A = this chain, B = another copy of it.
Amino acid sequence: MRDVVIIGIGQTRVDEHWGRSLRHISHDAIMDAMRDADIETADALYVGNMLSGELSGQEHLGALVADFIGLRGMEAMKVEAACASGSAALRVGIMAVASGIHNVVMVCGVEKMTDALSDDVTSGLATAADQEYEVSQGISFVGLNALLMRRYMHQFGIKHEQFAGFAVNAHRNGANNPHAMFQSAIKPETYLRAAMIADPINLMDSSPVCDGAACLILAPAEHYRSKAKAHILASAVATDSLAIHDRRDPLTLDAVALSSQKAYAQARITPADVDLFELHDAFTIMAALSLEAAGFAPRGRGVHLALDEEIGIGGRLPISTMGGLKARGHPVGATGVYQVVEVVNQLTGAAGKNQVAGARIGMAQNIGGSGATVITHILGGV
């Protein structure tokens, strides 16, 4: 098996891209990455996307994007694992290079959510949950996460305002990221006064509906050492039941634990070795639960890490360093690729005002559904 490195990264700003469709924003991210890698072609393209069929009436993004970037003919396909689609595409790209089947591979995560009716977006996001046993009862995806958050608060005696630190940290970091959707810091009061979406999840607990595309160029380490920006030290996928009521314990994300443990073993590290963690803070409750199951806090204690000295850029374990899903934005099928782009920027000292000093090992963790697919990548600097 060949070692895999990242030789180029690209991203559009996460935004409401009213004038540009799926093919356009994919193109923008891929061109950005190809310039960065200084390449003119590639062997294959794996597109991570969740909702193009439901929201744009367009499946078949692999061939569509390959053609639009001027590489008609190349191998291309789409990979989907709900909100973990971006990292699922990365997983496939890694297998393509590791196997020796391909040398230079492009992984593009893309999502376009704003150019659709909001009811359709709500229905689309609910396709991540169990249609027959959850969604058929009338609950939305944010509603499912609200049940988790309420249960967490009840079981561990947590007040809603204790989650504020996650949103404040994300927005403070997003303020320094030119690719973030929200580039403004918020005060704790903004969190406390935010409009309720699905009690207890308010607007500041929740990531936004948005558009975006990000791209990674992969290659084998043996031939591309001089171009390498970061090494893939681990790539690990784990799953759980889609339906939350079927889980062993709704407040323990077993797939986060399993995926993280597999990744730590592959990279031969422990959680203490991780210099920054791009976690899946689609909702603040998912940040707390992820920190716990990934080994950074005991069960029921993840929310207590929502403090500057813990998760801030200078803290013990910086998270959401470029704004996370909350402030950079969460174009669902693209998010996993954005996370890894950001880790690469941290490992190459290109994170600007949000640079984590001396970052050598970064972890990105992308979650599909409320924890049913969890994909963890650990990257090392060169």
Contacts and interface: CB of A to CB of B under 8 A. Distances in A.
Given A21-B132, A57-B126, A92-B92, A242 B99 contact: no
Interface in A80-105: 80-82, 84, 88, 91-92, 95-96, 98-101
A80 B72 CA distance: 18
A254 interface: yes
Contact of A131 (B58, B96, B255): B58
B373 A63 contact: yes
Interface in A322-380: 368-369, 372-373
Q: What is the interface of chain A mostly: helix, strand, loop, or mixed? A: mixed
Stoichiometry, as copies per complex, reads 2
A225 B91 CA distance: 28
Nearest to A247: B72
A92 B135 CA distance: 30
B76 A60 contact: no
Interface residues of A, number: 64
Interface in A120-136: 123-124, 126-132, 135
Interface of A: 1, 21, 23, 44, 50-54, 56-60, 62-64, 66-67, 72-82, 84, 88, 91-92, 95-96, 98-101, 123-124, 126-132, 135, 237-242, 246, 254-255, 258, 368-369, 372-373
